[in-house]
Amino acid sequence: MDKSQIIYDKLLAYMQTDKTLEEQGSITEQETSPSHIDGYLGEVCQNIAIMERTRSNYAYRELRSNRILAPVILFIKKCMRKCLKWYIEPICNQQTEFNNAVTPAMGRLTQSVTELYQSYLRQERQENKYDEVLRNLEEVKKTQNGQMKNFSDIKASSEQKIEVLKKKLEELTVQVETLRNINVNLDEKITSIYLRSEHFASRMDSQGARMDKYSEKNDELRMDLDEIKKYFTSTRCLEQKELDIEQKIIKLSNNIDENKTALADMQKNIMHQMAFIDTSFISKLQERIERLEETQNKKFNPWDKRTTSQAGEDSILLYLLPHLKRGYSECTYLDLGANHAIELSNTYSLYVRGARGVLVEANPCLIPELQEYRSGDIILNRCIYSETDETRSFYIMSGDGLSSMDLDAVRDMIHENPELKVESVLPVKTITVQDILRQYFGNEAPTVVNIDVEGMEWAILQNWDFEHYRPAMFVVEMIPYRPTLVIGEKNEEIVNFMESVNYVEYAFTGINSIFVDKEAF
280 within a domain of the structure (yes/no): no
pLDDT class of 25 with cuts at 50, 70, 90: very low
Q: Judge if 7 and 128 occupy the same domain.
A: yes
Comparing CA positions, the residue from 460, 401, 412, 403 lying closest to residue 436 is 460
Give the Å distances, CA to CA, from 486 to 176, 315, 411, 511.
40, 21, 19, 8
CB count, 10 Å around CB of 313?
A: 24
Report the distance separating Cα 513 and Cα 313, nearest Å: 9
Mark 240-268 as b/e (b = at least 16 C-beta within 10 Å): eeeeeeeeeeeeeeeeeeeeeeeeeeeee
Average pLDDT of span 396-410: 75
Q: In what side-by-side order are the strands of the sheet with 356-360?
A: 378-380, 356-360, 332-336, 448-451, 473-477, 512-517, 503-508
93-to-85, 86, 268 alpha-carbon distances in Å: 11, 12, 133
What does the pLDDT read at residue 18?
45
Residue 443 inside a domain? The answer is yes
Of 436, 470, 463, 452, nearest in space to 313 by CA: 452
Summarised one tens digit per residue, pLDDT across range 42-73 is 776 776 777 666 666 666 666 666 777 777 77
Any domain includes 160: no
Distance CA 383, CA 460 (A): 12
* Residue 288, domain member (yes or no): no
Same domain, 94 and 13: yes
**CB-based contacts of 323: which residues, under 8 Å, 6+ apart?**
521
pLDDT tens, position by position, 115-168? 777 888 888 888 888 888 888 888 888 887 777 777 777 777 778 878 878 787
The residue among 27 and 227 whose pLDDT is bigger is 227
Q: Residue 372: CB partners within 8 Å, gap ≥ 6?
A: 341
Asked if 402 and 420 count as a contact pair (C-beta separation under 8 A), the reply is: yes
User: Looking at the structure, do residues 362 and 497 belong to the same domain, yes or no?
Assistant: yes
Compute the average pLDDT of residues 455-482: 89
Report which of 436, 336, 354, 296 is spatially closest to residue 346, judged by C-alpha positions: 336
pTM above 0.85, yes or no: no
| Same domain? 127 vs 197 | no
320 and 452 belong to one structural domain: yes
For 251-299, give the DSSP string. Answer: HHHHHHHHHHHHHHHHHHHHHHHHTTS-HHHHHHHHHHHHHHHHHHHSP
Give the domain-ending residue among 117, 136, 155. Answer: 136
Buried b (16+ CB within 10 A) or exposed e, 62-98: eeeeeeeeeeeeeeeeeeeeeeeeeeeeeeeeeeeee
Is 216 found in the same domain as 359? no
Rg (CA), the chain: 56
Instruction: Please indicate, yes or no, if residue 31 is contained in any of the structural domains.
Output: yes
The confidence score (pLDDT) of residue 269 equals: 57
d(CA 41, CA 35): 10
Residues 207 and 82 in one domain: no
Q: What is the pLDDT of residue 450?
A: 94
Among 334, 381, 341, 337, CA closest to 355: 334
User: Could you report the per-residue pLDDT of 29-44, keeping only the tens digit for each?
Assistant: 454 455 666 776 777 6
- What pLDDT score does 249 carry? 66
Going by C-alpha positions, the residue among 426, 486, 430, 490 that lies closest to residue 458 is 490
Q: Bigger pLDDT: 265 or 462?
A: 462
Task: Describe the crossing of helices 232-274 and 70-223 by its angle, rounded to 10 degrees.
Answer: 180
Residue 454 lies in a domain: yes
**Mean pLDDT value of segment 403-430:** 80
pLDDT of residue 228: 55
| 389 or 89, greater pLDDT | 389
365-391: average pLDDT? 90
Residue that finishes a domain, picked among 136, 155, 180 = 136
The mean-pLDDT minimum among 187-191, 327-331, 380-384 falls in: 187-191
Specify the number of domains making up the chain.
Answer: 3
User: In 3-state terms, what secondary structure has residue 451?
Assistant: strand
For residue 342, what is the domain's CATH number?
Answer: 3.40.50
Instruction: Tell me if 41 sits within 8 A of 30, measured CB to CB.
Output: no
Q: Is the pLDDT of residue 297 over 50?
A: no
Mean pLDDT of all residues in 79-101: 77
Question: Would the pLDDT of 324 be above 80?
Answer: yes
Per-chain mean pLDDT for the chain: 75
- 441, with CB counted inside 10 A (0-12, 13-18, 19+), is middle
**Range of lowest pLDDT (129-138, 280-289, 290-299, 310-319):** 290-299
User: Is-contact 416 402, C-beta < 8 A?
Assistant: no
Nearest CA to 420 out of 428, 412, 408 is that of: 412
* Residue 489 identity (one-letter amino acid): E
52 versus 479: which is more confidently predicted? 479
- At 392, the amino acid letter reads R
Of the two residues 256 and 509, the one the predictor is more confident about is 509
Q: Are residues 41 and 93 in the same domain?
A: yes
Question: Within a domain: residue 29?
Answer: yes
Range of the domain at 260: 167-274
Residues 512, 366 share a domain: yes
In this structure, the answer to whether residues 42 and 190 fall within a common structural domain is no
Whether the pLDDT of residue 365 is over 90: the answer is: no
**Residue-level pLDDT at 318:** 92
> According to the model, what pLDDT value does residue 469 have?
93
Q: Are residues 21 and 104 both part of a single domain?
A: yes
Measured from the Cβ of residue 426, the count of other Cβ atoms closer than 10 Å reads: 15
DSSP reduced 3-state for 517: strand
256 and 325 in a single domain? The answer is no
Highest mean pLDDT among 73-82, 330-339, 400-409: 330-339
Residue 255 lies in a domain: yes
Is the separation of the CB atoms in 270 and 189 below 8 Å?
Answer: yes
The answer to whether the beta carbons of residues 334 and 446 sit under 8 Å apart is yes
